[in-house]
Structure 1
Amino acid sequence: MSQPASSGRAPDGAQTHDLRILAILSMLMAFASISTDLYLPALPTMARSLHASTGTMEYTISAYLVGFSLGQLVWGPLGDRYGRRTPVSIGLVLFVLGSAGCALAQSPASMIAWRAVQAAGACASVVLARAMVRDLYSGNKAAQMMSTLMTVMAIAPLLGPSVGGIILHFASWRAIFWTLVAVGLVTLAAQRTMPETLPSGRRNHEPLSRAFANYGRLLRNRRLLGYAGASGFFYGAVYAYIAGTPFAFITYHHVPPQLYGVLFGAGILGIMVTNQVNARLVLLYGSDRLMRWGTLAAALSGLVLAVDARTDWGGLIGLFIPLFTFMSVAGFIVANSIAGALGCAPERAGAVSALIGSVQYGTGILGSALVGVLADGTPWPMAYVMTLMGLACAASALLLVPVARASRPEPVRRAG
């Protein structure tokens, strides 16, 4: 049952309810990061154990991203038709099976295949957790909740590689995947304590074939395209950053690997800070306005980055500052664009969430691939790709999302 948000301080019971929902949704959305970040330090060890080249082991990341991107397109309509809990549970079971398969893999081919299964299960949790936010909240409140979730999610890439390294120090690389099996089982148990957020009366009962066909109809929504473009192009820049910074910092600027972790972690901390700032400002200024500010900041920092990378002006610091700025504005772009997109078609929140997620990871694959194709031993390819993505991100927000509704108050709805 829905109820309007009240002014003033929420009752203790409501705060406890929100915290429990936040904890469970955070666990579900964290699967996007922990499935890869935890095992990154073990890649060289895995390559030796499975008698594979470094390039072959990198396919385990590519297989995961492809599975994660395409799998969302399936789980979204399923969640709109059958509710959120059952598809999420099935996805978590798939994740557990995929993780166990990775732990038992005896060849690179089987590892790549099980990583795809793992991704197909993990993406159900992420895509439907976003839809659950839209089930429970609307308008700027949904953007505020999404921003808080993004802050919690940022802890996973911040700590994941370090935790994976600790596990690898005391056990074999297979223990990392058994740890993911345990995480999946714990999340499955926790998720079963959360009530269904999409009652049968609000579900989309049309045939799944028609539901899948509706992706074309959603893509004809100009406003939705704006949100998808802002979020998607920004993800393209993020994955260009992930692919390019190890070479830009360590190879080109001779940064020690230990310091690289600090520089990378600084960007994650920047994202966490701006997500919290966004959560505080969104009810005052509106999610669309903050999203536009964020995309403009990304475009401008991308241009500065391109100049610094091309001229080597400022050396390492000259490169780090615009990179840090670019990554930090994620707090104003991602949560607000997702919330805005979900608001375009709340009756198909699962499908919209799937479409946004697929665009994000699809563009991410493109961004990282372009950096590899254009690689010339300098930071320029990374900067070039990030600049183009930043400009496209700003253009999507400014040209496709109408300004008129940016500050219009929207009702806040919460499941009671």
Structure 2
Amino acid sequence: MNKAQHLAVAAIGRVLAGANLTLVLQEIWRSNPLLSHQQRGAIQDLAYGVLRYYGQLDALLSLLLDKTLQDLKLRYLLLVSLYQLQYSKAPSYAIVDHAVSTARLLSNKRGAPGLVNAVLRNFIRKGTTLWELVNKNDVGKYSHPQWWIDKLRKQYPQHYEAILNASNQHPSMTLRVNSRKIGVEAYQKILDEHGIKANLVWNVALKLIQPVAVEKLPGFIEGLVSIQDAGAQLAASLLDVHDGMHVLDACAAPGGKSTHLMESAQIRLTALDSDAQRLARVAENFERLGNEPDRLVYGNALYPSEWWNGQLFDRILADAPCSASGVVSRHPDIKWLRRYTDLPAFADTQEKILNALWKILKRGGKLLYVTCSVFHEENWLLINKFQQLHQDARLLPLSHPAMTNGQLLPSFLHDGFFYALLCKA
């Protein structure tokens, strides 16, 4: 537990200084190759857990301290320990004892172990009362930044609490059955035979009752199934692709939507991305599934002249870079890394991508605009502005029981996404 606490503290500190949690953990794995699978799991749980409930834990710690703790490592250790005391099954005495030991490793101050011991034991004594105080504050109650809460409250007055609560839940593990190789019912039967229970969400999406390691999924290596959120799986059907069409996935990495498009129809697909490393992952996904795109291109959707071969597209999928405010349950660091001022910058880039891609879409062709965001600035407000600038853009109706005006709000079944289908008149 000492090792897990120590490295989790390092990870949390780097994220709160501005780093991406996924990249931080990857670096920790590289720097500590002898970590066991169990240790990695513990470190990941602590880092994700503290960031998922950071607003709550930070408010709680403020109540437990007489003054601001300047030693950030000790502060993060206390957050880790409070998370363990509240959300883990480990005995409280073991958590406190290990935290005291870890404090000796993290700080050369003589009083550090005593401070950690006193704060944590005080929480054990007064926990119920302290939680009541924490819940009187928005950031403490919802564990999101205040500006984020205020924006959702304004944009979704009837649903903001459900959005915030869903974003704080552990994400589901959902599979996409490769219908070119096996039917949904047939694959669900295989899962049952392996003792893995799953429920149908919609189409070819199966939500596992309990997540399992990828290597334990039957037929994964053979390409029978992929891991993809149920909300993300809607893109392929909404784009309305048919055999023989020339299709572009303009922001393809890591390849979930691209490979799904190839499973949906016999198309000529160009998979484009501006990140060479992530594009390599797209190629790996295609190889595992046993199908290949027409072109796999390293390039930026903003500048088609640098990579486009001059052939107009029948369909374009524009899964634009965004705030990722709809996938916070999977990436809890996002809510603490984003700033209110980021939204206009994302919207500007999204608008430029749409303008660039519109020029290479055929007359009568369709473009599906996608974000994994719930903020109006990146979604409806942007599409309304685009239509005003492009008189030949027709917004087509999208019908799905889980969506309202193209917006899929995060829930226990899926992440949050926005979809807008535009036809070039």
Fold equivalence (TM over 0.5): no
Q: Which has the higher strand share?
A: 2
Instruction: Calculate the TM-score normalised by the size of structure 2.
Output: 0.26
Q: Which has the higher helix share?
A: 1
Structure showing greater relative contact order (alpha-carbon pairs closer than 8 Å, 6 or more residues apart): 1
Instruction: Calculate the TM-score normalised by the size of structure 1.
Output: 0.27
